[in-house]
């Protein structure tokens, strides 16, 4: 039930009350409740199907007094200040950013645990612009996939020194899974670069993207060579 990705998310939770947004089958709240690590959880999903399955799971383990299951989109199902930690995991980074922005006051009243499936770069920049600071980053591996997990709170984020730090933060350079993150970023930029390079017609925007990819690949290669020397 609990994968390495979900476990890494749970490892960043240090409060007794949580909301799990897009909870699906409520695996995280159920596990935390069974381990007596939380006193209250609000498990939210916009679809009734997952909520019904979650209800059966909660009843099965006898923790229905701890976990409150609610149907709602984004943060609409919770009240401002109702929980200390909000988890938003397993969604695209841009969608996570939208959910936070749409209910910014609710988000700023809690610690955020975020696990974007993509657009991590965009989410980091967006959090910064919305008045959040990332206080902890973690990586989790499942098979051949690598996942980024952020813990963020309201505050002023110190701006990164350069573009590449928004893709590969310096805080992760000593992480045991840094090789996988670097390889993932190299693949992402190579895919974009080769796709545009092999196209017959290139717009000015395409040429700018090519230059950006070339720059990023060179910087990521420097990052790789630097941490390998340590």
CA angle 161, 96, 55 (to 5 degrees): 145
Going from N- to C-terminal start, the domains of the chain cover: 4-157, 178-229
Give me the pLDDT at residue 225, please.
82
d(CA 135, CA 213): 28
Contact 18, 29 (CB under 8 A): yes
Q: What is the mean pLDDT of residues 16-27?
A: 94
Q: Is the pLDDT of residue 162 over 60?
A: yes
d(CA 157, CA 39): 31
> The CATH number of 4-157 is which of 3.40.710.10, 3.40.50.150, 3.20.20.70, 2.60.40.290?
3.40.50.150
* pTM of structure: 0.93
CA angle 137, 140, 146 (to 5 degrees): 105
Range with lowest mean pLDDT among 85-89, 110-114, 163-167 = 163-167
The closest of 143, 168, 190, 204 to 5, measured between CA atoms, is: 143
Contact 132, 152 (CB under 8 A): yes
Give me the pLDDT at residue 230, please.
56
Q: Which one of 94-98, 158-162, 193-197 scores highest in mean pLDDT?
A: 94-98
């Amino acid at each position: 039930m609990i994968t390495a990705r979900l476990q890494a998310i749970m490892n960043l939770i240090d409060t007794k009350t949580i909301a799990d947004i897009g909870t699906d089958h409520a695996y995280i709240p159920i596990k935390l409740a069974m381990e007596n690590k939380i006193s209250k959880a609000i498990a939210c999903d916009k679809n009734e199907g997952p909520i019904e399955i979650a209800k059966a799971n909660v009843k099965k383990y006898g923790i229905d007094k701890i976990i409150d299951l609610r149907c709602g989109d984004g943060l609409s199902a919770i009240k401002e200040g109702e929980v200390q930690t909000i988890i938003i995991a397993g969604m695209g980074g841009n969608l996570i950013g939208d959910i936070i922005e749409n209910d910014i006051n609710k988000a700023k009243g809690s610690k955020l645990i975020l696990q974007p499936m993509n657009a991590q770069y965009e989410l980091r920049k967006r959090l910064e612009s919305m008045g959040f600071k990332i206080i902890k980053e973690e990586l989790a591996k499942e098979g051949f996939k690598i996942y980024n997990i952020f813990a963020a709170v309201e505050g002023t984020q110190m701006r990164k020194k350069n573009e590449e730090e928004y893709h590969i933060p310096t805080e992760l350079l000593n992480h045991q899974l840094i090789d996988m993150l670097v390889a993932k970023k190299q693949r992402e930029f190579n895919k974009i670069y080769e796709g545009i390079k092999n196209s017959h017609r290139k717009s000015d925007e395409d040429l700018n993207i090519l230059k950006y990819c070339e720059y990023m690949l060179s910087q990521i290669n420097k990052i790789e060579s630097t941490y390998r020397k340590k």
